[in-house]
Amino acid sequence: MRFDPLLLVYALPLVALWGFHVVNARRKSRQARAVLDENRDAGLTEPPSLHPVIDPAICLGCGACARACPEEKVLGIVDGKAMLVEPTACIGHGACHAACPTGAISLVFGTATRGVDIPVLSPQFETSVPGIFIAGELGGMGLIRNAIEQGCQAVDAVAARSKRFEKAEGVLDLVIVGCGPAGIAASLGAMKYRLSFLTVEQSSLGGTVAHYPRGKVVMTSPATLPIVGDVRFGEVTKERLLSFWTDVLDRTGLAPQFEQRVTAIRSEQDHFSVETLGGIVLARSVLLAIGRRGTPRELGVPGEDLDHVVYRLIDPEQYAGKQVLVVGGGDSALEAAAELAGQPGTHVTLSYRGGAYARARARNRDRVRALVETGRIVEMLESEVRAIFFDRVAIDWAGQVTELPCDAVLICAGGLLPTQFLRDTGIAVETKFGTA
Ligand SMILES: Cc1cc2nc3c(=O)[nH]c(=O)nc-3n(C[C@H](O)[C@H](O)[C@H](O)COP(=O)(O)OP(=O)(O)OC[C@H]3O[C@@H](n4cnc5c(N)ncnc54)[C@H](O)[C@@H]3O)c2cc1C
């Protein structure tokens, strides 16, 4: 058979394309492996809740799952197979499961080593304590749209339950705890049913969304809000979503009580006594829409209640030119300290009670180390804050109490998860170890 030189015209570009694909796939595999190793070294291997488990025997390594995931770099292709390389950043979109052409991905709660506590709920979102309902991410399913739908459905059930009771002076039909998507939707539902209700929120409007990084693009499917009607969010920035919620409050007259944490719920004869930092509220039913991120851990030192003490960094620019103390040694503390050090004229001190940042990712440790070396961050390892004043802080460092001038304190000392709160309230929870 005679060799046709025309074949080369077709074969060469194909070989070049194939070569490019192989080199590119290897580069991406190396990058994904590096992210995976870094997270394993830092012990960041446990996804917070619902997450994919990939069967390597079925996975083709086509990358459809990684491309479908709206969060960046959560999934990667390592050595030809999909892997959850950034487990703690998985928020349970489930898009990977839908995109996999071979059915290699199942979605599960918890892992074999770390169980996830999921409250036991009826189809009407009622807990094992009759009259206490749960909606949104606390029930196990993440995502804004799910939270909205569940908030609405739970209030449908509360409204039906309320008909059983006579109105009583000083006893509300409902207390809604939390003002994220589930709490807002439930509050609008309560307005629609003309229930007497109160919404209390430990922080500000919007729930977890308010704490996303600045400019984060939020992906959310259409949903229907009581009173407001259909909303088509699609892809919006966090800021636009928050301004939408603010507008909803303005238009409807919904008035949640902010900066009011609920600390306990007690069952009385035919109502609940809901303890908030501001006092006690009585209600026939309670809806917990408190998400799963919990309550920031406090240091428990004098002066922590001052206005310039915060627990999350939302907008680093507001600290330009200020003296800021960051407390903590995990990823959030290190990321915040580095962000603040990038602001013009900001003096950053990082105080951590440990001797090394063992629980943080290598990239954050390296970033902080470089900033310490150039003098942009003052590092105080093995130190403990003793007191916070209006214009300074007292820190115990190497056995001596030092006072530093300070305009703002950012405490990143982790969070208290809501599971204990549920148990204290008598709500049954089930621990899931990798259950679908
Ligand atoms: C980084 C990140 C990115 C995400 N991106 C997306 C996305 O693109 N699309 C999407 O659909 N979902 C996304 N999610 C998930 C989504 O934010 C959550 O699923 C959703 O906010 C859950 O709503 P929720 O109302 O159940 O709870 P939350 O939004 O968590 O709100 C709970 C509220 O309850 C308050 N609270 C807690 N305890 C108490 C108490 N004791 N007393 C009073 N108030 C209390 C909290 O302060 C909070 O405001 C993301 C999550 C994260 C962390």
In this predicted structure, the answer to whether residue 388 has a pLDDT above a threshold of 90 is yes
Integer Cα distance of 385 and 407 in angstroms = 15
Q: Which amino acid is at 106?
A: S
Residues forming a β-bridge with 199: 176
Q: Is 48 in the pocket of ligand 1 (CB under 6 A)?
A: no
More reliable by pLDDT, 93 or 43: 93
Atom of ligand 1 nearest to the CA of 213: 1
Q: Is 91 in the pocket of ligand 1 (CB under 6 A)?
A: yes
Location of structure tokens 């070569």: 19
Helix (H) or strand (E) holding 363: helix 362-373
Contacts of 264 (CB under 8 A, 6+ apart): 274, 275, 424, 425
More reliable by pLDDT, 154 or 211: 154
Q: Give the single-character DSSP code of 208.
A: G
Taking the centre of ligand 1 as the mean of its atom positions, its distance from the CA of residue 216, in whole angstroms, is 14
Integer Cα distance of 202 and 211 in angstroms = 13
Q: Is 92 in the pocket of ligand 1 (CB under 6 A)?
A: no
Integer Cα distance of 315 and 80 in angstroms = 39
Q: Which amino acid is at 366?
A: D
If one residue of 144, 198, 335 were mutated to test the ligand 1 pocket, choosing by the most ligand atoms within 8 A of its CB, it would be: 144
Q: What are the tens digits of pLDDT across the range 251-263?
A: 999 999 998 999 9
In this predicted structure, the answer to whether residue 214 has a pLDDT above a threshold of 80 is no
pLDDT band at 1 (very low <50, low <70, confident <90, very high): low
Atom of ligand 1 nearest to the CA of 139: 26
Give the pLDDT confidence score for residue 25 in this predicted structure: 80
Cβ count near 10 (within 10 Å): 10
In this predicted structure, the answer to whether residue 173 has a pLDDT above a threshold of 80 is yes
Q: Is 332 in the pocket of ligand 1 (CB under 6 A)?
A: no
pLDDT band at 230 (very low <50, low <70, confident <90, very high): very high
Q: Is 204 in the pocket of ligand 1 (CB under 6 A)?
A: no
- Residue closest by Cα to atom 35 of ligand 1: 178
In this predicted structure, the answer to whether residue 71 has a pLDDT above a threshold of 70 is yes
Mean pLDDT across 194-218: 89
pLDDT band at 315 (very low <50, low <70, confident <90, very high): confident
The full set of domains in the chain, from first to last, is 6-114 (3.30.70.20), 117-294+418-432 (3.50.50.60), 309-414 (3.50.50.60)
pLDDT band at 6 (very low <50, low <70, confident <90, very high): confident
Taking the centre of ligand 1 as the mean of its atom positions, its distance from the CA of residue 144, in whole angstroms, is 8
Mean pLDDT across 385-391: 96
Helix (H) or strand (E) holding 7: helix 6-41
Taking the centre of ligand 1 as the mean of its atom positions, its distance from the CA of residue 23, in whole angstroms, is 40
Atom of ligand 1 nearest to the CA of 182: 25
Cβ count near 184 (within 10 Å): 29
Mean model confidence pLDDT for the chain: 92
Give the pLDDT confidence score for residue 9 in this predicted structure: 81
- Residue closest by Cα to atom 8 of ligand 1: 218
pLDDT band at 366 (very low <50, low <70, confident <90, very high): very high
Q: What are the tens digits of pLDDT across the range 142-167?
A: 899 999 999 999 999 999 999 999 98
Q: Is 178 in the pocket of ligand 1 (CB under 6 A)?
A: yes
Q: Is 223 in the pocket of ligand 1 (CB under 6 A)?
A: no
pLDDT band at 53 (very low <50, low <70, confident <90, very high): very high
Q: Is 203 in the pocket of ligand 1 (CB under 6 A)?
A: yes
Give the pLDDT confidence score for residue 361 in this predicted structure: 83
Integer Cα distance of 222 and 241 in angstroms = 13
More reliable by pLDDT, 435 or 260: 260
Q: Exposure pattern of 196-225 as b/e (b: 16+ CB <10 Å)?
A: ebbbbbbbebbbbbbbbeeeeebebeebeb
If one residue of 290, 292, 298, 422 were mutated to test the ligand 1 pocket, choosing by the most ligand atoms within 8 A of its CB, it would be: 290
In this predicted structure, the answer to whether residue 18 has a pLDDT above a threshold of 70 is yes
Give the pLDDT confidence score for residue 369 in this predicted structure: 96
Atom of ligand 1 nearest to the CA of 209: 17
Q: Provide long-range contacts, Cβ within 8 A and 24+ apart, for 302-308.
A: 302/387, 302/388, 303/387, 303/388, 303/389, 303/393, 304/388, 304/411, 306/388, 306/389, 306/390, 308/390, 308/407, 308/408, 308/409
User: DSSP labels for 73-118?
Assistant: TSEEEETTEEEESSGGG-----HHHHH-TT--EEEEES-SSS-EEE
Give the pLDDT confidence score for residue 60 in this predicted structure: 94
